[in-house]
């Protein structure tokens, strides 16, 4: 009966079916693939369209997993339009997110997100998209230190998040207290983190934000008990390259491409300077923005060098890594950040309250919102992959 149920769900996705994406060796379809993306569809090119009928995909108040740092309505945001935009790729459409299909395909499996708070936001978005398809008594959620685990008991499936903002071990590894003025990473190995990654059937990595806090990154060489250890500085792009190569080598040693899938989510953009989209007001940023940027030629401040490093290194992997390109489409969404409508770790001063732009969060995203679209792209990549892994 379970097989018949999956087949019925796949049939419902018929408009998106053609030959399933092939593995790198051409030996057969990629794990989890039930079809493939339409030929010539570039999801990075398109536009945001208002869709009040289909959006939002869930309500903020009905999803118990959203952290108070992302519940914008609960913290007084006066507008809701940011919830109602749908990404429309040029020349094709995204398949509708089907929670039951995803849960069936994850039956008996383990899906793991690894990265920073933006990846955690995408993880929580996915839980919000799935949880209504699971009876209340058949699901659970817990967080212990750096690991969060959502269990769908009837499916014997877990969807997890592991906090590792720089992927390598770093002085930012505490999942709660992780502010650090000077980023310090361990050059090698990454055994402490990667021990949690082993055995995942679907791995979803991200890493960007913490690498662009400065031009240089400090690297600790040698073991903790090694008196010869020292700290060296390296350009952040090159340190990032070094760490990504370590991740690739780990994947090649530990992931069976015939059974598992690996994805890397590209950089999530910020909107800290309004002059970038033509707002000449002093101090203008994402605060008070209520609509996306409509200029299709707009390019944000995301580091193209870091993006290039990501693509170059992941392309060397003998284990296929699907690149989930969220950057370009998210750069238009100046309106969808949490702004000041979130739980504040430090109470704003009177001066800050007089100018809300001064403490607006133009990095993280309200839920529901933009991360739901990231999960629609991930859903497409997982179940309807293109033969080109780097769209």
Taking Cα atoms as reference points, which of 314, 315, 203 lies closest to residue 256?
A: 203
Cα–Cα distance for residue pair 311/244, rounded to 1 Å: 10
Q: Is 361 marked active-site?
A: yes
Catalytic residue among 117, 194, 260, 330: 117
Assess contact for 153 and 186: CB atoms under 8 A.
no
Cα–Cα distance for residue pair 294/38, rounded to 1 Å: 26
Catalytic residue among 116, 361, 372, 386: 361
Cα–Cα distance for residue pair 307/328, rounded to 1 Å: 11
Taking Cα atoms as reference points, which of 250, 244, 246, 249 lies closest to residue 264?
A: 244
DSSP 3-state of 233:
strand
If phi over 0 gives left and psi between -120 and 50 gives alpha, with beta otherwise, what is residue 229? beta
Cα–Cα distance for residue pair 144/280, rounded to 1 Å: 46
Q: Is 337 marked active-site?
A: no
Cα–Cα distance for residue pair 226/8, rounded to 1 Å: 59
Catalytic residue among 172, 194, 364, 386: 364
DSSP 3-state of 295:
coil
Helix (H) or strand (E) holding 328: helix 327-331
- Which is it for the CA torsion 99, 102, 108, 111, positive or negative? negative
Cα–Cα distance for residue pair 311/240, rounded to 1 Å: 12
DSSP 3-state of 221:
strand
Assess contact for 367 and 66: CB atoms under 8 A.
yes
Report the chain's terminal Cα–Cα distance, integer Å.
36
**Total Cβ atoms within 10 A of residue 305:** 13
Q: Is 148 marked active-site?
A: no
Assess contact for 30 and 388: CB atoms under 8 A.
no
Taking Cα atoms as reference points, which of 200, 114, 226 lies closest to residue 165?
A: 114
Q: Catalytic positions, please?
A: 117, 361, 364
């Amino acid at each position: 009966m379970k097989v018949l149920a999956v087949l019925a769900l796949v049939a419902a996705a018929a408009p998106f079916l053609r030959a399933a994406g092939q593995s790198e060796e051409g030996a057969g379809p990629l794990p989890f693939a039930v079809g493939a993306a339409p030929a010539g569809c570039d999801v990075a090119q398109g536009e945001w369209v208002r869709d009040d009928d289909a959006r939002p995909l869930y309500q903020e108040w009905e999803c118990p997993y959203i952290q108070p740092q992302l519940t914008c309505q609960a913290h007084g945001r006066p507008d809701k339009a940011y919830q109602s935009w749908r990404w429309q790729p040029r020349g094709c459409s995204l398949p509708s997110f089907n929670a039951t299909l995803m849960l069936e395909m994850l039956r008996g499996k383990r899906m793991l997100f690894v990265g920073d708070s933006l990846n955690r936001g995408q993880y929580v978005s996915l839980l919000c998209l799935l949880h209504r398809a699971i009876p209340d008594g058949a699901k659970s959620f817990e967080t212990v230190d750096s690991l969060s685990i959502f269990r769908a008991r009837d499916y014997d499936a877990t969807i997890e998040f592991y906090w590792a903002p720089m992927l390598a071990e770093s002085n930012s590894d505490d999942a709660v207290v992780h502010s650090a003025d000077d980023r310090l990473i361990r050059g090698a190995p990454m055994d402490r983190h990667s021990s949690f990654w082993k055995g995942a059937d679907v791995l979803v990595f991200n890493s960007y934000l913490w690498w662009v806090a400065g031009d240089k990154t400090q690297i600790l060489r040698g073991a903790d008990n090694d008196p010869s250890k020292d700290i060296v500085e390296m350009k952040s792009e090159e340190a990032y390259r070094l760490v990504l190569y370590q991740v690739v080598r780990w994947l090649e040693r530990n992931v069976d491409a015939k059974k598992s899938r690996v994805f890397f989510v590209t950089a999530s953009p910020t909107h800290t300077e309004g002059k970038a989209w033509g707002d000449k007001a002093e101090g203008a940023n994402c605060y008070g923005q209520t609509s996306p940027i409509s200029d299709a030629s707009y390019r944000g401040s995301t580091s193209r060098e870091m993006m290039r490093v990501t693509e170059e290194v992941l392309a060397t992997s003998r284990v296929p890594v699907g690149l989930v390109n969220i950057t370009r489409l998210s750069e238009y969404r100046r309106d969808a950040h949490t702004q000041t409508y979130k739980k504040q770790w430090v109470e704003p001063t009177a001066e800050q309250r007089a100018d809300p732009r001064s403490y607006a969060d133009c990095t993280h995203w309200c839920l529901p919102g933009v991360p739901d679209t990231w999960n629609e792209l991930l859903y497409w990549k997982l179940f309807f992959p293109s033969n080109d892994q780097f769209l």
